[in-house]
Every structure is written in structure tokens, then in C-alpha cells.
Amino acid sequence: MNILVLGIGNLLLSDEAIGVRIVEALEQRFTLSPQVDVMDGGTSGMELMGDMACREHLIVADAILTGSPPGTVTVLRDGEVPALYTRKISPHQLGLADVLMALHMTGEFPQRLTLVGVEPESLAVGIGLTGTISRSLDAALDQVVAALRTSGVTVTEKEVDHV
């Protein structure tokens, strides 16, 4: 297996950072099988192409604008994902759409693609998630873990040290 969990987001635009915060929580709370790469993609675009190419499963965590109430977690799979990214939702996502299109053209598109998206409450300049989005982080993380498990990945919760 060759799986990538990619968190996308801008840490300087409040809830836009949710994708990055999801992958941070994944690494902090869980131990994953060695065939899984976890990456903070930040606001990168085409420079992620090599990391995303030829994956058996690409799981992207991100803020998405679907018109749902803030904090809503949406899971899209395979062909549903590129269609969503044709709309410019945030500054980096046009770059992600370009990468996905380029991967299609080069025959390096992932065999499976899952997007775990969270509807932001605020995209204003500021560091830190709003309370609404902070409360949605666990639900989004659960969806990432579920996507990993559907690919046969062993996901083990780390033991918490009680001080």
C-alpha cells in the first residue's frame, strides 16, 4: 500500500487551517502502518504533484465551502472531488485542482481519492480555529481514520500519559 494523508490549509486564515490541524491531530493521537505518509501540504499547489502521484489512496483534509452550516464535515470520494475543486474555494485550492488535473493527464492519478472537508465559519486573518470548527475537528479526524481503515491500514490510538 502507498497511501498519503494530506492536510491543506493556511494557518494565517483562522478556519482555513483545519486540514493542517487534522493531520497534526492524526499524528499526535494515532500510530499508523508504515505504508502511510502524513503530510502538511500548507498552501502548496503544483509542488505537491510528486508527493501525490501514483498513490493507492490519497486522503485530503481541507476547509471546503459547500454552503452547509459552519462545522459541517463532508466526505467526498473519487470523481466527486475534482468537480468540487473547480470552484475557487480558497487561495490554495485552485492549485490543488491543477495538481489533480495534471495527475489525470500524466496517468498518475491516485487509485482512490477521499476528501474530508469542514465548512469554515471564518476565513478572516487570524491564527487559531473558531470554536465551531475546533469542535468539528474530532468528527473530521474520525472520517480520516475511517478512510484509512477502508484501505486496510492499521490505525492504533496512542496511549495518553496521565500526569
Cell numbers found for residue 71:
462545522
Give the mean pLDDT of 109-132: 93
Asked if the structure places residue 82 within a domain, the reply is yes
Q: What is the Cα–Cα distance from 23 to 5, expressed in whole angstroms?
A: 7
Give the mean pLDDT of 113-119: 94
pLDDT at position 82 = 63
Asked if the structure places residue 38 within a domain, the reply is yes
Q: What is the pLDDT of residues 9-27, one digit of tens each?
A: 888 889 999 999 999 999 9
Q: Residue 72 — pLDDT band, cuts 50, 70, 90?
A: very high
Place of cell 492504533: 156
CATH code of the domain covering residue 69: 3.40.50.1450
Asked if the structure places residue 73 within a domain, the reply is yes
- The set of residues, in sequence order, having a beta carbon less than 8 Å from that of 81 and lying 6+ positions away, is 60, 100, 113, 114, 115
Alpha-carbon distances of 96 from 70, 72, 163, rounded to whole Å? 22, 21, 42
Asked if the structure places residue 42 within a domain, the reply is yes
Asked if the structure places residue 118 within a domain, the reply is yes
Q: Residues 35, 53, 41, 66: what is their CA dihedral angle, to the nearest 10 degrees?
A: -110
Give the mean pLDDT of 96-105: 83
> Is the pLDDT assigned to residue 88 strictly greater than 60?
no
Q: Which amino acid is at 109?
A: F
Domain span at residue 88 reads 3-153
Number of domains in the chain: 1
> Is the pLDDT assigned to residue 86 strictly greater than 80?
no
Asked if the structure places residue 97 within a domain, the reply is yes
Q: Residue 102 — pLDDT band, cuts 50, 70, 90?
A: confident
Asked if the structure places residue 29 within a domain, the reply is yes
> Is the pLDDT assigned to residue 85 strictly greater than 70?
no
Asked if the structure places residue 136 within a domain, the reply is yes
Q: What is the pTM of this model?
A: 0.90
Q: Residue 113 — pLDDT band, cuts 50, 70, 90?
A: very high
